[in-house]
Each structure stands twice: as structure tokens, then as C-alpha cells.
Amino acid sequence: MAVERYNPREVEPRWQAKWNEADIFTTDNNDPRDKYYVLEMFPYPSGRIHMGHVRNYAMGDVVARYKRARGFNVLHPMGWDAFGMPAENAAMQNKTHPKAWTYENIATMRKQLKSLGLSLDWSREFATCDVEYYHRQQHLFLDFLEKGLIYRKKSKVNWDPVDQTVLANEQVIEGRGWRSGALVEQRELTQWFFKITDFAQDLLESLDTLDQWPEKVRLMQKNWIGRSEGLTLRWEVVSDAAAGEFKEVTVYTTRPDTLFGASFLAIAADHPLALHIAQSNPEVAAFADECRKTGTSLAALETAEKKGMDTGIKVRHPLDPDWELPVYVANFVLMDYGTGAIFGCPAGDQRDLDFARKYGLPVTPVVMPADADASTFEIGDEAFTDDGVMINSRFLNGMTTEAAFEEIASRLEAEMFNGSPRAERKVNYRLRDWGISRQRYWGCPIPVIHCEDCGIVPVPKQDLPVQLPDDVTFDKPGNPLDRHPTWRQVSCPHCGKNALRETDTMDTFVDSSWYFARFTAPWADAPTEPEAANGWLPVDQYIGGIEHAILHLLYSRFFTRAMKETGHVNLKEPFKGLFTQGMVVHETYRLGSGMNGQWIAPADIRIEENDGTRRAFLLSSNEEVTIGSIEKMSKSKKNVVDPDDILASYGSDTARFFVLSDSPPDRDVIWTESGVEGSHRFVQRLWRLIGEAAPHLSEIAANPASEGEALAVSQAAHKTLKAVGEDFDKLAFNKAVARIYELLNALAAPLTKVAEGKADEAYVAAVRDASCILVQIIAPIMPHLAEECWNLIGTGGLVAKAAWPQFDTALVVESEITLPVQINGKKRGELTIARDAHQNEVEAAVLALDFVQNALDGQQPKKIVVVPKRIVNVVV
């Protein structure tokens, strides 16, 4: 019989409505079953969802639906990371209010997400710009402040001297402001900081407990925290009028063993000594100013050419009073790290070597490889940075690097200089405290008041929330809160005098550092309901982009610790399992070249393919378009595919199935139109095969076959069921998809046979069992299609509420296995033998094989390697 084509436009909204009616995705905190919290990183409401969102949320939804079928009480919420710069940029460009712009975007994107049929608990939805949310964030801020986890200090920002405003790093392009084009300067402001460094050691050590995180993310965090063991070492300044009061310079070094290879000291442009010298030395002052024009991003600083300026000051070597070294100001030494001063050993550090070559400073090799010859070992263009044997280092000669470190450290620790030890062992971290002050409007106001008499006064909790005023304008650069006529005016909670509100708002990373905890009780008056938070947390499976591997995840780990210290939760690690998914990428198309070229959207072209050559043409004019490289979907390159277009033509199930197919989920997926069509063909094929057989299937109860013709059908279904469950447990969605294809291929002929009425009862029962399994394993990926098929087979109820089926153990084990047989490591044939055959039996059977006999040519084999159940290798 003929079956109508599957029409997702009709089917998908219908099932979404049924799920709503049955209210099956709303989560009850008091449900006694085992909990499972699956969370995808919440989106920034940029305007419309993109394919990256579809992929991210499809993955989370598969996990949520699968775990629900497995009997867990699943929490799967959604919200909006809604504060941030784009809303202010839009306000400046389009004269819209950030609040209106943001909530309109949220409305659009919520509608788009709902059409995907995600199994989300929408009753817990919030946006970080909701007053109810940032109210509680201010509550947390006050608690952290009270605990001593927050302080103020001076720190640098990118300052645009034309727009008179602070710029984000991404707004600094090649050292210039993105709007004004003016050279950016560094400027110091007093800003608020979270003391993340208090937890540096714990954040580092606890990485070992995160065994469900990708190894690479743990490694990146470890390197980011950057624990090093070294020495602070004081150098005596050779008396000099220019040095003034400065009698010594303290450096931090992790390589005290290379001390005899030192050839200069380098200090940061903002080092107190540099600042002092700059007062009397215009050259140094000019150079330091130049260093300050690089902007504040580390990448910009480090890719800049390494430069320095001799201060004229000299220091004495700690181990030789007759040895004097020059002190440079250098642009690669950072005031934020260590002591803001280093000693340069050109032979043992590439940066120091480049610097020494540039300024004609001596290069003395002090470490050489263990097997090198001390009399001939030289440093050319490359420093020797490995461990080895000490040379040219007086009493250290012949020692290992490690022993030399210990020798220098203990000698200098014991030596007194100006009344205190010359050196001290010190553990240092690269991690810096987290600066959260932003001079912007669209963020969470920092709830403090500045009073002339009382200083900094926290806003009393009963006065929260400190609400953002709505009546602001964006016609001028700078922070609208600063120039608001009345908002700042407030009386001091202490003394009642006129005082001023803090106008800095919080970094948006703060908003995203605890939203996962808020989802557990978004209605709570306090930031969390501890019982709910402790019950649900940690998040069992967190899914998001690799671009958040360091900052967002590290800040969230810090926040959870800080919330523990302030009694809002009682755990340290917020995310038990982490999965980082890849991006969705697409070909680019370009019309014309060079300056006149323009990017063309995929929707505006058609592709022709002849003899393997693909050419693209503009739909409107038939002009040929150049096919460019495959890149991350971005507005600027126009290589975006709007999920709405895909949903309109293929439906949500096809889109979800496609983004989970082919590519491993942690790698990028290339969006291709032909790939989507392939996925859609599968949807139609499954619908047709099930639909044609359904009238017969619905008449007979499911029953797997244990013998006869139908055995193969049941074996295929149960093996796939087992494998797909394991794949879902590992988030290996692409493998699950491949197995689903395989199963449908295996069921195609049996389903047709049933449809044609040529099957006996036992066969139909086995096919029905297999069909139900098929429908249940596709249900997490293609929930609408699954409900429609489920209904057609006449199973009753919703698949979304059905328990995950059990596979039959007897159907998934093989009694015989086929082993590949190699001769000298190359496959030459196969051996089929009982699964539980003993090693001796396998060897005997292999030696009896014709091709083995031929290869041996009468001789004895040198060796036979038998890897049980895997392979046999005969060495002749």
C-alpha cells in the first residue's frame, strides 16, 4: 500500500502540543527518582539562533530524552545570557533601547528553540538581565565582599582618547579603536576584583577529580593556572644618582640554576624603578610610553617585536660582587606576573636570546645536553631550554639542572643581604585575580555606595535590587550611568549624607558563573535554595563550545567555591561531566575578487556538479561565483544557514538528525545541502517502511525470535539496541546514527515482506519487536517522527514517556567469531572458530590453513601471536 509522504510541518507542532498538554518536561524537585542534570551553555540573545545552537541543543536534548527513558528525574532548563556589549552597540546604531532589543531577541529565539521540539523545562527559564536574577547576583556580591573575596585595586584598561571610552580587547584592532581609529592607550582605573587566586592551588589540584572532563580542557586549565616553583632573588643596585632610593631589584625566576648565564635584568615599563628613572631620563620615559600604547591584550603584547631600553642602571651579580649587569626596561616583561622583573639568561631562554642578540649582550651557555662536549658546545640561533648538565657555572659545573637549582636556592636562602635572606623559595601562579568592573550600562550594577565620610559602603540587602534605570541615552560615548541626572544620587546607608552609587557594572562572565545553580530553584528569594541546589548539583553533563574551555569554566569553578564559603551551596565542582562540541562550518562563496569582491549567502546560489567539478552560480543573474574555503559560520562571510529555512523545508527532526550525523560531536561539522537532503531521505524512508508495514504490525504483539528465519532480524535489532545505548552514554551520536542507518538497512526487506502480507505470525512479531526498538532508539534524536511511528504501530502512549527497552542477552552474543590471520603483520586470510576456543586450538587451526601452509613452505613458524578474540599473526 502507498503511504503519504511524511509532512513535518503538520506533524511536529502536533506532537509538541501533545507534550505540552501532558506536561512531561516540567521537572519536580521532589521527585524521588535518581536525578540527572543536563545543561547546555545558555545562548547570548543575538537575534536569531544559528546552526551551532541547533547542534548544541540537539546534543543536550538527546541526553535528556535518553536519560529520561532510563528512569532518571531529568533537569533540562534553558535561559539567556542576556547582558553584554552587543545590546549597547545596537542601541548606538539603531536607537533601540538595550532592554527592548534584548527581550525582543529573546522572544524570537525562544520561538525558534521551541520549534526544535527540545525537551526543556521552560517553567524555569530566566534571562540574566531579569531584575529577579541580577538582584540575587548582587546578594552574592555582598556576601563575597563580606567574606573578603572581593577587593579594589588599580588596573589597566584600553582607553580610546577620541571616543573617551574604555574599549574591550576585541574593539582594539591593530592597536587602534574600532570606531575612532585612534591609537589606543593604557589607562589605570580603580576596579573591583574577585580573589580567584585564593583558590589557585585548589582549582589546580581538583582538576584531577574531574575525570569526566576532556583531558585537553584540564590541561589547558592547568597551564592557565600556571603553578611554578622558583625563587625570588634580590639584586643590589650599583649606587647611581638616577636610581635614587632604589637599593635593590627583586626578580622572580624558575631557573636559578642558570644564574651564571645571566647577562641583563629586564623590568616592566610600570615597574616602580622604571617609573622613577623615567622622571629623569626622557628616553626611558618615551619608551615606557610606547609600551603603554600596545593595549592590554596579552596576545598583542607577545606578538609585538621584543624591544628594550637601557636604563643606564647597573646591578651586582648575587654570586660575584665584581660582576655588573645592565638593567633594561623591556616590553615583554609584565608587571602583573611575578615581581615585574626578570634576569635574562640568553643561552637558556629563546626570548632572552633574541633580546641579547638585538642589543649585543653576552651569551654564555650554562646548560648543555648530557652527551655534548663542554669545550665545543655553543649557542647559535636557538637557546637550549631543556634540562642537562651545568657548564661555565663555577661551583655548579657538572651538576644536573635539578641539583644546580637546589644548590643555588639553598646557598642564597642562607645568605643575608641588607638584613634579610638574599633569596626565598616561592610558588607562583600565572593566574591573576578576576577584574569584574566594566564601565558600561548593560550589566549587573555593582551594589556599593561611595560616601565621602564612610568610604565604600555596601548597599544593605534590604535595599536590593539596585536597578538599572531605563531612561538612558546612547548618543554619547562613555557609561550612561555616569551621566544619568539622578540615578547616582543616594544617601549613605551609614551616615545618611549625600553619597554616590558605584557606576561600574559587572563583567558578563559573572552572570554565567552561577546560572546553573539558579536553575535548581529560580523562584527562590535568596540566590539559591540550598537544598535544591545541593540535590541537583553538580551538573551531570554540561555541553558547550571549546572556546569556553578556560575562562567561563574556571570562573564557574571559582564561583562555586565562593558560594560554598558563603553558604549557598555545599560543593566545589559545578560540572561533573563536560563535553565540548565542535562548530558548524560552511563553504564560503564570493563574487568578484579583491576590494570589489563580496560574500554571497548559500541561499542565493545554486551548485552544479560535472565530472567531479563543482561550480557555483548566483540564482538571480547566473553569474559564476568562486567557491571558497570552509569556515565557521559568520555574518561577515555570509556563510550562514538560517535554521528557520531548514525547519521550514525539512523540519526539526531532519535538522537534528543531520547535525548529529557524520562528524564526531567534539569536532566541527560541515553543513552541506546534500547532506541535509540525505538525512531527509532517511526520515522519509523510515516513515514509508514503517508506515507500509504498520497495518500488519499493529495486529500482533511484539516478540523477538529465538530461531528460524526471523532470528537475524531480532539479532540485528538487539545488537543495535545495545550498541546505541553505549553510544549515547558516551555522547557518540555520530556512531549511533551510523548504527541506526545499518539497522534500517537490515529491516528494509523484512518490513517490506510484512507489508506485502508474506510473513507468518512469528516473523511479524519479531519485526514488530525490531520496529519498536528502532523507533525508541531514534526517539531521542528525532522525537516527532518517533511519536508518529509509535502511534502508527499502535503501541499506545508517548515514546517520550516510554522506558528504554532491554536488549536480550542471548541475541547479542555470537557463538563463533572470525579472526583475521596475518603473516608477518599482513592480513592473508581469516579463521572462523568457536568464540571460546582455547589458544592452542586457535594455533592448531591457523597452522592447518592452506595459505599458512604455503607461506611456511615446510618450515616451523618463528612465532605465533594470538590476541584472544582479535587477531592471529604468524611470523615466518
Footprint (CB under 7 A) of RNA, residues 645-664: 661-664
Amino acid at 358: K
287 vs 797: CA distance, rounded Å: 76
Of 539 and 732, nearer to RNA (C-beta) is: 732
Residue with cell 564601565: 439
Least Cα distance to 689 among 802, 807, 775, 798 occurs for 775
> Is 432 among the residues that bind RNA (CB under 7 A)?
yes
List the interface residues with RNA, window 167-186 (CB under 7 A): 167-171
Of 375 and 870, nearer to RNA (C-beta) is: 870
Supply the minimum distance, in Å, between the C-beta of residue 818 and RNA: 6
Amino acid at 828: R
Binding-site member from 681, 758, 801, 838 for RNA (CB under 7 A): 681
Binding-site member from 53, 438, 557, 561 for RNA (CB under 7 A): 438
Of 390 and 506, nearer to RNA (C-beta) is: 506
Strand, helix or coil at 393? coil
CB 136 within 8 A of CB 517: no
Of 36 and 199, nearer to RNA (C-beta) is: 199
Least Cα distance to 319 among 402, 406, 417, 427 occurs for 417
φ, ψ at 546 (rounded to 5°): -65, -20
Least Cα distance to 717 among 702, 730, 695, 732 occurs for 702
Supply the minimum distance, in Å, between the C-beta of residue 247 and RNA: 30
Of 495 and 875, nearer to RNA (C-beta) is: 875
Q: Which run of H or E residues covers position 111?
A: helix 98-115
Of 424 and 668, nearer to RNA (C-beta) is: 668
CB 423 within 8 A of CB 248: no
Of 394 and 667, nearer to RNA (C-beta) is: 667
Of 156 and 234, nearer to RNA (C-beta) is: 156
List the interface residues with RNA, window 816-835 (CB under 7 A): 818, 820, 822, 824-828, 830
How does DSSP classify residue 862? S
One symbol per residue from 742 to 781: x for binding RNA (CB under 7 A), - otherwise; what is it? x--x--x---------------------------------
Supply the minimum distance, in Å, between the C-beta of residue 169 and RNA: 4
C-alpha cell at 819: 579472526
Of 29 and 206, nearer to RNA (C-beta) is: 206
Supply the minimum distance, in Å, between the C-beta of residue 751 and RNA: 11
Residue with cell 615606557: 288
Supply the minimum distance, in Å, between the C-beta of residue 532 and RNA: 25
List the interface residues with RNA, window 287-326 (CB under 7 A): 296-299, 302-303
Alpha-carbon distances of 294 from 230, 438, 464, rounded to whole Å: 29, 20, 40
Of 431 and 539, nearer to RNA (C-beta) is: 431
List the interface residues with RNA, window 629-648 (CB under 7 A): 631-632
Binding-site member from 421, 678, 695, 861 for RNA (CB under 7 A): 678
Residues 6+ apart with CB under 8 A from 123: 26
Supply the minimum distance, in Å, between the C-beta of residue 280 and RNA: 32
Residues 6+ apart with CB under 8 A from 843: 864, 866, 872
List the interface residues with RNA, window 683-712 (CB under 7 A): 684-685
Supply the minimum distance, in Å, between the C-beta of residue 861 and RNA: 11
Binding-site member from 390, 543, 647, 669 for RNA (CB under 7 A): 669
List the interface residues with RNA, window 505-534 (CB under 7 A): 507-509, 512
Supply the minimum distance, in Å, between the C-beta of residue 648 and RNA: 19
Binding-site member from 59, 129, 490, 549 for RNA (CB under 7 A): 549
Of 44 and 728, nearer to RNA (C-beta) is: 44
38 vs 655: CA distance, rounded Å: 21
Alpha-carbon distances of 555 from 239, 339, 509, 549, rounded to whole Å: 46, 25, 7, 11
Q: Is the bond preceding 13 in cis, omega lying within 30 degrees of 0?
A: no
Supply the minimum distance, in Å, between the C-beta of residue 227 and RNA: 12
295 vs 333: CA distance, rounded Å: 14
Question: Binding segment for RNA among 95-103, 160-168, 257-265, 517-525 (CB under 7 A)?
Answer: 160-168
558 vs 193: CA distance, rounded Å: 13
Strand, helix or coil at 160? strand
Binding-site member from 271, 484, 548, 718 for RNA (CB under 7 A): 548
Least Cα distance to 142 among 196, 80, 192 occurs for 192
Q: HEC states along 397-457? A: CCCEHHHHHHHHHHHHHHCEECCEECEEEEEECCCCCEECEECCCCCCECCEEEECCCEEE
Binding-site member from 275, 372, 738, 812 for RNA (CB under 7 A): 738
Binding-site member from 668, 709, 808, 843 for RNA (CB under 7 A): 668
One symbol per residue from 464 to 483: x for binding RNA (CB under 7 A), - otherwise; what is it? --------------------
CB 300 within 8 A of CB 172: yes
Supply the minimum distance, in Å, between the C-beta of residue 350 and RNA: 6
> Is 250 among the residues that bind RNA (CB under 7 A)?
no
List the interface residues with RNA, window 570-589 (CB under 7 A): 583
Of 537 and 633, nearer to RNA (C-beta) is: 633
List the interface residues with RNA, window 204-233 (CB under 7 A): 215-216, 219-220, 223-224, 226
Supply the minimum distance, in Å, between the C-beta of residue 190 and RNA: 11
Residues that contact RNA, how many (by CB under 7 A): 98
List the interface residues with RNA, window 551-570 (CB under 7 A): 551-552
Supply the minimum distance, in Å, between the C-beta of residue 6 and RNA: 11
Supply the minimum distance, in Å, between the C-beta of residue 365 and RNA: 19
Residues 6+ apart with CB under 8 A from 523: none
Supply the minimum distance, in Å, between the C-beta of residue 383 and RNA: 10
Binding-site member from 4, 21, 373, 609 for RNA (CB under 7 A): 609
Binding-site member from 48, 99, 227, 351 for RNA (CB under 7 A): 351
Residue with cell 574604555: 166
Of 412 and 543, nearer to RNA (C-beta) is: 543
Of 520 and 663, nearer to RNA (C-beta) is: 663
788 vs 806: CA distance, rounded Å: 22
Count CA within 13 A, CB hemisphere, residue 486.
4
Strand, helix or coil at 831? strand
CB 86 within 8 A of CB 49: no
Of 316 and 722, nearer to RNA (C-beta) is: 722
Binding-site member from 13, 47, 435, 628 for RNA (CB under 7 A): 435
> Is 674 among the residues that bind RNA (CB under 7 A)?
yes
Strand, helix or coil at 486? coil
* Helix count and strand count (H, E) for the chain: 27, 37
Least Cα distance to 511 among 556, 480, 546 occurs for 556
φ, ψ at 837 (rounded to 5°): -60, 140
Supply the minimum distance, in Å, between the C-beta of residue 676 and RNA: 9
List the interface residues with RNA, window 83-112 (CB under 7 A): 83-86
503 vs 487: CA distance, rounded Å: 9
Of 298 and 844, nearer to RNA (C-beta) is: 298
CB 213 within 8 A of CB 577: yes
Q: Please state whether 496 falls in left (phi above 0), alpha (psi between -120 and 50) or beta.
A: left
Of 132 and 673, nearer to RNA (C-beta) is: 673
Question: Binding segment for RNA among 131-139, 406-414, 470-478, 859-867 (CB under 7 A)?
Answer: 859-867
Give me the sign of the Cα torsion angle 512, 516, 519, 525: negative
